[in-house]
Amino acid sequence: MTLSSAPGKVYLFGEHAVVYGEPAVPCAIERRARVGVQRREDSKLRVHAEDLSLDGFTVEYSGRTDDHPDVDVSDSLIAAAMGYVDGAIDQVRDVTGEDDAGFDVTIESDIPLGAGLGSSAAVVVAAIDAATRELGVRLETDELADRAFRTEYEVQNGQASRADTFCSATGGAVRVEGEDCRTIDAPDLPLVIGFDGGAGDTGALVSGVRTLREEYAFAADTVETVGDLVRQGERALETGDLAELGDLMNFNHGLLSALGVSSRSLDAMVWAARDAEAYGAKLTGAGGGGCIVALDPTEATETALKFTPGCEEAFRAELAEEGVKRLE
């Protein structure tokens, strides 16, 4: 069996706006998806998943399937999860030229599914890396990130950006603007994550922002303002000014709320962090439920979140300096 892992991520700035060519700055964090792949003698795909914020399941099939594992999450999340695995294997077959290759795939993840921490990107990056190596092909990081992006782009009906998959493949802090993806320097950020136990529907949330942007000029202006904020945030990162970074994160959360992608639980966690005197806090990812990220070097925010109604988990996150790891 060939085994790879890839990290999740948080957005300091720029989610949703990045879909429209504006810049974004995500950071990889040390919560990982680990994917083991073993070639089969037939062309079937067997997937066993654990710890993806749901009960473990196993499904085996010859091609794409409408059957859903018996787990207590929405059909849309299960369909998306299986879609990402299918898409990753399609990329593997394409790049290796082995169209009939079958695999046993085992997925273990520390990253909540659909919670804004890049679970799908981490699974796709690790799956493509492990499966191509199982077939004797080793992809360079840039091609791995590109193949993973193509998978997300297809599953998300053309509404994905390169940010999540590039960040997961390379690790560290990255800057993404359209086709331009690169790593950037960042200080040792005191990241605290709050998780409400839920998940947003990424496709529906991205589609909702698209509708607003097309219907209202001021919504389009809001998306552009997020891009301007990201550029200001890059300068604060260069100087290590945590106070300004926090102010800009607060501003970014307000803009995302105006675009309709926050929720009561996310807002409650953001305000709990601010009341605990964090430098700043915002939702991370598509929104609608899931996670917030705050900047606080003290224990105050983590403690406050643990006592916030609707927050199921709070933890400190370290920056993942390394992206994909080849474990076996």
What residues are labeled active site? Answer: 164
Alpha carbon distances (Å) from 275 to 127, 242, 249, 299, 315 = 40, 17, 15, 13, 17
Question: DSSP assignment, residue 19?
Answer: G
- Contact indicator for 123, 110 with CB cutoff of 8 Å: no
Helix (H, G, I), strand (E, B) or coil at 17: helix
Torsions phi, psi of 281, nearest 5?
-155, 150
Q: Which residues contact 239 (CB under 8 A, 6 or more apart)?
A: none
Which residues does residue 107 pair with via DSSP β-bridges, in sequence order? 35, 49
Amino acid identity, residue 291?
C
In this structure, the number of other CB atoms found within 10 A of the CB of residue 306 comes to 14
| Residue of 136, 160, 281, 139 lying closest to 210 (CA atoms) | 160
